[in-house]
Amino acid sequence: MQKVNRDVLLEKAAAMLDAGEVQAVLGWGAGEFAYDVTPRVFETSDELRADFVWNDFCGANLSKYLVSKTKKLEGKLLVFLKPCDTYSFNQLLTEHRFEREKVYAVAVPCEGMADVQKLKALAGDGISSIESTDSGFSVTTIYDDAPVEVKGADVLLEKCANCKSRKHVAYDELLGDEGEVLDSNRFDEVERIEAMTSEERFAFWQGELSRCIRCNACRDVCPACTCEKCVFDNPNSGAENKAPTTSFEEQMFHVIRAFHVAGRCTDCGECSRVCPQNIPLHLLNRKFIKDINTFYGEYQAGAEEGSRAPLVDYTLEDLEAEDVFKKEAE
Amino acid sequence: MHNDSRKIADEIILRSGVNPRRCMKCGKCSGTCPAYEEMEYHPHEFVYMVESGEVEPLLNSKSLYMCLSCFACVDRCPRGVEPAKLVEAVRNAYLRQQDNKHMNADDVPAKLDDDLPQQAIVSAFRKYRK
Amino acid sequence: MQVNEYKPLIVAFCCNWCSYAGADLAGNNRLNYPADVKIIRVPCSCRVNPMFILRAFQRGADGVIICGCHPGDCHYTSGNYYTRRRMALLFSMLDFLGIERERTRLEWVSAAEGAKFAATMNDFAETVAALGENKRLEDLRCKK
Amino acid sequence: MQRIGVFVCWCGSNIAGTVDVQAVSEALKTEPGVVFFTNYQYMCSQAGQDIIIDAVKEHNLTGIVVCSCSPRMHEATFRKTAAAAGLNPYMVEIANIREQCSWVHKDMASGTEKAIILGKAAIAKVNLNAPLTPGESPVTKRALVIGGGIAGIQTALDIADAGFPVDIVETKPTIGGKMAQLDKTFPTLDCAACILTPKMVDVAQNDKIRIFSYSEVQEIKGFVGNFDVTIKKKARFVKEEICTGCGACVEKCPMKKIPNEFNLGMDNRRAIYIPFAQAVPKVATIDPSACNMLKNGKCGVCSKVCTAGAIDYTQKDEFINEKYGAIVVATGFNPISMDKFDEYAYNQSKDVITSLEFERLTNAAGPTQGKLLRPSDLEHPHTIVFVQCVGSRCAACAEKGKEYCSKICCMYTAKHAMLVRDKYPDTEVYVFYIDVRTPGKNFDEFYRRAVEEYGVKYIKGMVGKVTPEGNKLKVRASDLIAGKQLNIDADLVVLAVAIEPDKSARPLATMLTASMDTNDFFTEAHPKLRPVESPTAGVFLSGACQGPKDIPETVSQASAAASKVIGLLVKDKLKGNPCIASANELMCNGCSTCANVCPYGAITYIDKEFPMFDRTMQTRRVAQVNPAVCQGCGACTVACMSGAMDLRGFASSQIIAEVDAICR
Amino acid sequence: MRKCSLSKLTDLFQKINESASLYLPATDNAGGAVYTKWADGVEYLDVLNTVRSPKDFFFPQSENLMEFKLKGKNIEILDIREESEDFVIFGVRACDVKSFEVLDRVFLSEPVDSYYQNRRAHAVIISMACMRPADTCFCTAFGIDAAEPAGDVSAWKTECDLYLKANTEKGAQLLAKLSNLTEECDDSEVSPLQEKIRNIMKKLPLEGISLENFGKGKTKEYFDSPLWTELSEACLGCGTCTFVCPTCQCYDIKDFDTGSGVIRYRCWDSCMYSDFTKMAHGNSRNTQVERFRQRFMHKLVYYPENNDGLFSCVGCGRCLSKCPISMNIVKVMKALGGEKK
C-alpha cells in the first residue's frame, strides 16, 4: 500500500547516520509479526538495515518521543514523520517541548495505516504472514493454506479512514510527493451523537466509558499530553485517581483529559488506536475541535507553528456560553 | 396594508443582503449619485424608506428605473450599506408582485432572434421567471 | 411530599470584583433567593477550573453557576473572555456526554446588578429543582 | 494542623435576626482544626476585635474565621486585627453570613443551616491557608516619556516639577509634535506656537529633563519600578552639544529641493535642516537620504561653513541604556492616508488638502507666510468646501477608513471656517457634515458663532465626488435637509481626515507587553476608573495614543499620567499583592500557555537545570511569575494543564476544600 | 465425561444460573469480549481472549476495604465486607486457569487476603479448550496444555456438542446438577480434538519460546543487562500490559474522602507507573527503564524464585495484542536469549 519504499527511508537515514549528520534515527523497528511494529531509536546504520521497517503498520506517531529523546542526545535526531505526525510535531514546537535545531525531520507520504484488529477480524486468527499488495494485503494463517485477500480500505485505522490531511506541515526534507489537506468526514460520527437525545447520549457514553480500565494508554501515547506531572497522577491536584472506581471518575478523567488537550489536539487519533477497550476517544477530541471551528472559526492545531490556541485567545464578540446550543442547532 | 409593506420591506432587506440600520444618514450616496436629478426618491431615501417599511411609494416610483447600477453609492458609502443593491431588490420586489406576467422556459425559443443577444434573453428569463 | 422536600444544592462561583459585589448588593437590598445557593469567592471568573465544577457535581451539587464581570468590564481586562470560551466548550462537552445542559450556567453580573443576581439565582435554582437530583454526574460514594 | 478560632458576629440583629448565631458557633466547634469558638454582637467593634486578639494569644490560634458581613466590607479590618494579634493577616477568612445569608433568606432554619455551611467552607479554606508576605521590589526614580508632543511635554514637565528625572524620547529632530504645526487653537483661538513654544523652552531648560530627539526606543525589559530600556539615538551627523543652531549650514546647503515634512511637503527644505525656528533642541540635522556628502562623499559645504565645527559625517547611531521606574507612552497620532479615497481627488489635485495642510497654509510661518493661497496657483480661493468625517465613522472597510469618530474634526473645521470668513469675508465657505459634535466647554458656542456671526454655510450632507475641472473643483454633494443634490464649483477643498495612532505604537506595545485595541490605540487598565494606566503595571498613557483627543483633554490626561507616575516614583519600594500566581517548577512544562493568557505579561521563562534520577542534569524551560507585575487573576492557573501554576490565597486545594465543605 | 448438545446450551446456562450466577464471555459491542453475567439473550462468545482477564472475578480493579466515619472528632471504623455469592465462570481458557494458581500463591499464602479468599471459595470454574489458538499464543512455553485445560470442570466444544469433565469435587457437584441436560460419554470425540489442538500449537509462530534461561537465580545475569535501556526505549509507561495481564497482582491502597467519612479502597496499580511503590522518601524505581525491567524480571525471575519455579506469565498473549507500541514479554524473552536452540 505505501508508495514510498522502505529502502528509500532506510538509505536516507543510513547515509545521514554514516556521515555523522545525525546522531540517531527515530523510526519504526521490526517485531515478532509483520504487524507488530515498535518505535525505536537506531544509532548505527547496521541496526537500521537489520531492523528498520516502513510498512502499513507504522501507525505510531513518533513525534512525542522527541520530547524525551532529544534531551538525551548531544547531536541531531532524525525522525520520520507521516503527514498527521507533522501536525503534532508543530504543536509540540509551539509549546516549546523540544528544540527544533536538534531534529532533522524527514517527511514520509502515507497511504493510510492498517488496523491489526480489523485485519484479524477479516483474515482470522493465527496469522503467519502478511504480504502488502497494491490494493491491500494477502494474509496467510496457520489454519488455511490459501492466503486471504483483504482490501486495504477495509482495514484502515479509524484515524486513517478519516484522514484530515496528507500534507506535511513541517519537515526538513520530504521523501516522495506532497499530498493535500483533505475534506474528511471526521465530524460525521460526532454529529450523529449530537443528534441523539440527551438520554441517548448519556447511555451511549456510559456504555463506552464503562469499559475504561484507566490504563492511561490514551494519555501516555498522546502527543499533547506531555506534562511533567499529570494532574491525574498528582495527589495534590484534587483530581488524582488511579482506577475508574465509579462512573463519575470515568467521566472526570475523560472530560478533563479532553479539555486539557482542547485546542491543542491535532486529531492524530492515537488515543483511539491504542485503547485496549476500543473506546472511541477521538470523538471527545473531535467534539472540541468541531465546537471550536463552529464557535470561533476554523482552527487546526499544529497546522502552523506558533499559532495561538483557541483557549488562550478570545475576541470581544465571542459566543456566549448560553448561546452554545443555539449555535449548534444551526 | 401596513403589515404587507413591512413584509415586503423585510423581503427586500433579506434578498438584498443590505442592513439599512447601518446607515448613519450622511447622504454621501445621494451626494455621489449621477442620476440624482432624475430621481424622485434618492439613494439615501431608499435606505431610509425600506428601513421604515415605507415601500409602497418606492415600488410605484420611476426612481427605480433611474438607478444606473453604477455602484458609486456602494463604493463610497462609509458604512458599507450598499444602496444600489437595495434599489435592485426593490425592482425585484416589484417584479415579484406581477403574478402572471412571468416568462416561462417555453417562451424562450419563440423570442430567440438573430439580432437579439442571447445574453439579453437569458437575463430576462432569469429576472422574469419568478 | 418527597418532591417538596427535595432541595437542590447549588454552587455559585462569583468573581470578587463584580458578581460577588452584586451578590452583596442583593443582600443590601434584601432581595430573596433560595438558601440552596452557596457562593464561593474567586478573584476572577477565569480562576474557575473545570475540575472545580466537576468536583462540585461529584460531591453532590445539583447545579453549578459561574458569575463574572460583563465582557469588557473585567477587573483584569480579559479574564472573563477566557472564561467565556472555556465554559462554552466545557458546557457543550458535558451536554455531549448527556449531562443535562441546564445544570451548568455562566452569567455576567455586575456589582450594580443586585437584582439581576437574585433573579438569576432564583431562576437557576428553579431550573435545577425542576431537573431533580443530579444522577448523571454523581459519585455514589459521596451519597450520605 | 491549624488551630482555628471561629468568631460569629450578630451584627446586632442584622445577622442574629435570621441566623441562630449560637447554633452556628456550636455547629462549627467540631470542625477539623477548630479550637476556639464564640459569638459577639459586633465583631468589628473594638471590643469585638479585642475578643479576637485575646483568643489568638490565649489559644495560640494560627487561623481565624469570622462569620460576619461581606469580606468586601471588613476583611481588611480583621486582617489588621490578626496582625495586631501577631498573626499573619492572610490567615483570616470571612464567611459572609450577612449579605449572602441573613439578608437574603427569611427563614431562620434555612438561614442558620446555610450560615453553618458557609462557616464550614471558610474553616476548610483557612485550614489550607499559608502566611503570605507581599513581595517588595525597589523603584528606580526616573521616568521615561515616549513621544515629545504636547502630551509628552506636559507629562515630563509635571514629573520633573515633582523632582524626578525624566527622559523624553522623540523620533523627530525636535519635540513639539503635531501642536507645533497648528496655527490657532479652538475654542479660544490663541496661537498654538505662543502657548506651546514656552513649554518647549521649559523642557529644554529643566535640568531634570533630558531630551533624546531623533531617537527611538530599541528595547524594553523589566517591569514596574525596574524597566531597562535601550534607546537608539540616530546619527544626525551634527554634534548636538556643539551646534548653536545658527542656521549658517542650512543657508549654504546646495540640496534645496527636499520636501519639507514640517510643512507637509508644501515647500522645500535643505539636506541639512532645522525643522522650524523654535525647534528644541535647536540643532541642525543632516538627512542622510538627501545629503550628497553622505551619499557619495562630494560636497562638505556645511562642514566648511560651521564655525563651531559641529558637523561630523562619521557619526554613528548611538545606543543608550537607562533604567526607569515608570514609562509614559505619548506617541500621538497621524492623519490617515488618503490614497484609498479617490472620490475626493486628493491625489489628483493640489487644491484638495487635509486640514493639517490647511493649518500650515494659514500659519504665518507656513509655506505661504500665513496668506490663504491655494497650492496650485497661489491664487486666493473664493469658494472653499470643508468635508467632515473623511475616513472617520467608516465601517465599510477597515483598510480604507476608521470606524471610530476622530473627535477633533468638528471643532477644528469650525475654527478653520471661522478664520477664513474672518480674514477673507468675500469667501464662500461650506461645511458638509453628518453630525456636528461639540461636547466640550465653550465648544458649541464656538461652532454656533461660526454659523451665526461668521456666516459659514453648514450643510447636512456629504460630498460624494470631487472632480478637478480646469482651475475649479466640481464638488457634488447632497443637501439632505433641502432634499437637493448640490454642485459647487470650489477653489479649495479641505478634508477633515480621520486620525490614527502613530505607526510606532504597535511595536512599542509589543515591547511593553501593553495591550492595544483593534485600532492600535493603547487600552487603559480600566475604561472609567484607570483611564491613564495601561493594564501593564508601570506603563502609563498620555494623549492621543489612547484615543483621539483635543489639546485640553490631552494636557489633562498628560498631567493625570504624570501624577500617577509621581505616585509610583515617590515610593522607595513597591509592595505587591501577595495573592499572586506562582509556578511549581518541578511540574512546569514551559509550554507558554500561561504566558499567552496573562494580561499583564507577568510570566517569563528561564532555562533551568534540574537533577535527574539517573544523576544527570537536565535543562528545562520553566515559567517564572514576576511578583511585582502579577495582579492575581488566576487565568494562568486554569490554562496550565499540569497544574504547576497555582494562585496564593486562592489555591486550587483551597477552592476544592470549599467546594467539598459546601457539598458535604 | 458428560456431553451436551450445543442446541441445549441455553438450557444448560439456565440450569447453572439457577443455583449460582453464571458469567461467560460475550461481545462488548466494540470488537472485544468481556465476561458478562448470563441472562436470557446473552450469547456465549467462543473467543480466545477476553480483553480483561478473569482475574477480575477474584481481584477486581477496585474494591472497598473498609470505611471510616467521623463522629465529631472521633473516628469510627466500619467493616463493610460481605460474603460473596456463589458464582460460576464458564469458558475460561487454559492459560487463564493457570493464572489463578499464580494469583493464589500471592493472595492465599499467609497472611491470607480474606477479600480474595472469600470470592475464590465461592467460584466454580469451567474451563474451555482452545480450538483455534492465535498467533499471539505461547502458553505451551509455560507447560500449559490448551487441549487439556484445568479448572473445576474442563470443557471441549465440537461442531455440535459440548463435552464436560469434572476435575474437582466442586466440579463434580456442578455436573451432578446438570445431569438432566447431559449424558455420560467417553473421550472418543475429545481425544482427536486434543490431538488436533496440540498439533496446531506446534505450528504457532511463538512455538520457539523457551524458559531455559529464566527462573531462579537469574537476577544477577539480567539485572544490569544493557538491553533493558534499548527494550524500554519506546515504552510509554502506561499500564495496559499490567491491566490486561491475568497474573499481574499489584495494587495500591487509597483513601477516598467522601465528605462524611473515608472509604479505604484498593485498586490495581501498575509497576509501569511513576508513583508505583512510592514511599515517604520518594520512589524506588525512578526511571522507566527500571520500571520496565521490574515488570519482566518479576514475571520471569523474581516470582519463580519465590514460588517454586512457577512463572507469573501464562502466555495468553493479551499484552502482545494490546501494547500501544507493541513491546511485550516475547520480545523481552527473545532479546534475553529465550529461544529454543
Contact A28, A53 (CB under 8 A): yes
Per-residue pLDDT, B121: 73
Contact E326, A38 (CB under 8 A): yes
User: Average pLDDT in the E258-277 region?
Assistant: 91
What secondary structure letter does DSSP report for A50?
Answer: H
Same domain membership, residue A19 and residue A166: yes
Handedness of CA D7, D10, D15, D17 (dihedral sign): positive
Whether residue D528 is predicted with pLDDT greater than 90 in this model: the reply is no
Per-residue pLDDT, E161: 93
**Chains A–E, number of C-beta pairs less than 8 Å apart:** 129
The full set of domain ranges for chain D reads: 4-126, 143-332+504-569, 334-500, 581-648
DSSP D334-365: EEPP-TT-GGGTTTT-TTEEEHHHHHHHHSTT
Whether residue B100 is predicted with pLDDT greater than 70 in this model: the reply is no
CB-CB under 8 Å, E204 with A217? no
What is the nearest CA distance from D486 to chain B, expressed in angstroms?
A: 8
Three-state DSSP class for residue D603: strand
Same domain membership, residue A289 and residue A143: no
Domain count along chain A: 3
E62, three cell numbers: 477496585
Of E257, E259, E286, the CB nearest to D613: E286
User: Helices D150-161 and D192-205: crossing angle, nearest 10°?
Assistant: 40
Same domain membership, residue A197 and residue A169: no
Residue A265 main-chain phi, psi, to 5 deg: -70, 130
How far apart are the two ends of chain D, measured CA to CA in Å? 20
Q: Which residue has the cell 491664487?
A: D379
Per-residue pLDDT, B1: 45
Would you tell me which CATH number, out of the four given (3.40.50.1260, 3.30.365.10, 1.10.1060.10, 3.40.50.300), belongs to the domain B2-97? 1.10.1060.10
Distance between CA atoms of residues E223 and E237, nearest Å: 19
How much is the mean pLDDT over chain D?
94
Which chains does C contact via 3+ CB–CB distances below 8 A? Answer: A, D, E
pLDDT tens per residue, range A113-149: 999 999 999 998 889 899 988 889 999 998 888 899 9
Chain D neighbors of A237, CB-CB under 8 A = 643, 652
C-chain residue closest to E260, CA distance: C144
Per-residue pLDDT, C2: 41
Count helices and strands (H / E) in chain B. Answer: 9, 0
Contact C131, C102 (CB under 8 A): yes
A-chain residue closest to D606, CA distance: A96
Question: Could you tell me which CATH class the domain D581-648 is placed in?
Answer: alpha beta
Q: What superfamily does domain D334-500 belong to in CATH?
A: FAD/NAD(P)-binding domain (3.50.50.60)
A-chain residue closest to D590, CA distance: A96
| Residue of E132, E166, E136 lying closest to E152 (CA atoms) | E166
Per-residue pLDDT, E341: 66
D-chain residue closest to A94, CA distance: D591
Which chains does B contact via 3+ CB–CB distances below 8 A? Answer: D
Count helices and strands (H / E) in chain D. Answer: 18, 34
Same domain membership, residue A132 and residue A205: no
3 state SS for chain E: CEEEEHHHHHHHHHHHHHHCEEEEEEECCCCCEEEEECCCCCCCCCCCCCCCCHHHHCCCCEEEEEEEEEECCEEEEEECCCCCCCEEEEEEEHHHHHHHHHHHHHHCCCCCCHHHHHHHHCEEEEEECCCCCCCCCCHHHHCCCCCCCCCCEEEEECCCEEEEEECCHHHHHHHHHCCCCCEECCCCCHHHHHHHHHHHHHHCHHHHECCCCCCCCCHHHHHCCCHHHHHHCCCCCCCHHHHHCCCCCCEEEEEEECCCEEEEEEEECCCCCCCCCCECCECCCCCHHHHHHHHHHHHHHHHHHHCCCCCCCCCCCHHHHHCCCCCCHHHHHHHCCCECC
Same domain membership, residue A137 and residue A72: no
Q: What superfamily does domain D143-332+504-569 belong to in CATH?
A: FAD/NAD(P)-binding domain (3.50.50.60)
The amino acid sitting at D230 is: T
> Long-range contact list for A40-49, CB < 8 A, 24+ apart?
A40/E233, A40/E234, A41/A65, A41/A69, A41/A77, A41/E233, A42/A13, A42/A17, A43/A17, A44/A17, A45/A13, A45/A14, A45/A17, A45/A18, A48/A10, A48/A13, A48/A14, A48/A17, A49/A10, A49/A14
pLDDT tens per residue, range D72-126: 889 999 999 999 999 999 999 999 999 999 999 989 999 999 999 999 999 999 9
CB-CB under 8 Å, C89 with A291? yes
The two domains D143-332+504-569 and D334-500 share their CATH topology (first three levels equal): yes
- Kindly indicate the confidence band of residue D654, based on its pLDDT and cuts at 50, 70 and 90: very high
Same domain membership, residue A284 and residue A228: yes
How much is the mean pLDDT over chain E?
93
CB-CB under 8 Å, A233 with E51? no
For residue A210, being part of any structural domain is answered with yes
Same domain membership, residue A214 and residue A90: no
Contact B86, B17 (CB under 8 A): no
The amino acid sitting at C7 is: K
Would you tell me which CATH number, out of the four given (3.40.50, 3.20.14, 1.10.10, 3.90.1570), belongs to the domain C2-135? 3.40.50
Same domain membership, residue A44 and residue A19: yes
pLDDT tens per residue, range C32-66: 999 999 999 999 999 999 999 999 999 999 999 99
Q: Which residues pair with D478 in a beta bridge?
A: D485
| Residue of D101, D71, D227 lying closest to D579 (CA atoms) | D71
The full set of domain ranges for chain C reads: 2-135
Contact E1, E184 (CB under 8 A): yes
Whether residue C3 is predicted with pLDDT greater than 50 in this model: the reply is no
Per-residue pLDDT, C1: 36
Distance between CA atoms of residues D126 and D114, nearest Å: 18
Distance between CA atoms of residues D567 and D564, nearest Å: 5
Q: What sections of D363-495 are H helices per DSSP? A: 409-423, 443-452
Q: Does A230 touch chain C (CB under 8 A)?
A: no
pLDDT tens per residue, range D322-370: 999 999 999 999 999 999 899 999 999 999 999 999 999 999 999 999 9
The full set of domain ranges for chain E reads: 2-335
Same domain membership, residue A51 and residue A19: yes
Residue D9 main-chain phi, psi, to 5 deg: -100, 140
Judging contact as 3 or more Cβ pairs under 8 Å, the answer for B and A is: no
Chain B neighbors of D391, CB-CB under 8 A = 78
Of E48, E273, E331, the CB nearest to A32: E331
CATH architecture assigned to D4-126:
3-Layer(aba) Sandwich (3.40)
CB-CB under 8 Å, B30 with D485? yes
Per-residue pLDDT, D514: 80
The full set of domain ranges for chain B reads: 2-97, 101-130
Contact D396, B79 (CB under 8 A): yes
A283, three cell numbers: 470523538
Contact D313, D303 (CB under 8 A): yes
What is the nearest CA distance from C98 to chain D, expressed in angstroms?
A: 22
Whether residue D584 is predicted with pLDDT greater than 50 in this model: the reply is yes
Chain A neighbors of C81, CB-CB under 8 A = 314-316, 318
For residue A181, being part of any structural domain is answered with no
Q: Does D487 touch chain B (CB under 8 A)?
A: no
Of D30, D613, D664, the CB nearest to E259: D664
Q: What is the pTM of this model?
A: 0.79
Whether residue D372 is predicted with pLDDT greater than 90 in this model: the reply is yes
A260-294: burial string, b at 16+ Cβ within 10 Å, e else = bbbbbbbbbbbbbbbbbbbbbbbbbbbbbbbbbeb
D56, three cell numbers: 489568638
Per-residue pLDDT, B120: 73
User: Average pLDDT in the A38-51 region?
Assistant: 95
User: Average pLDDT in the A34-57 region?
Assistant: 94
Domain that holds residue A169: 6-113+160-174
Burial of D135 (0-12, 13-18, 19+ CB in 10 A): middle
Same domain membership, residue A206 and residue A313: yes
For residue A100, being part of any structural domain is answered with yes
pLDDT tens per residue, range D13-35: 999 999 999 999 999 998 989 99
Same domain membership, residue A307 and residue A207: yes
The angle at the Cα of D262, spanning D258 to D267, to the nearest 5 degrees, equals 45
Distance between CA atoms of residues E42 and D514, nearest Å: 66
| Residue of A255, C139, A205, D661 lying closest to E64 (CA atoms) | C139
User: Average pLDDT in the E86-94 region?
Assistant: 96
Of D30, D613, D664, the CB nearest to E72: D30
CB-CB under 8 Å, C60 with E260? no
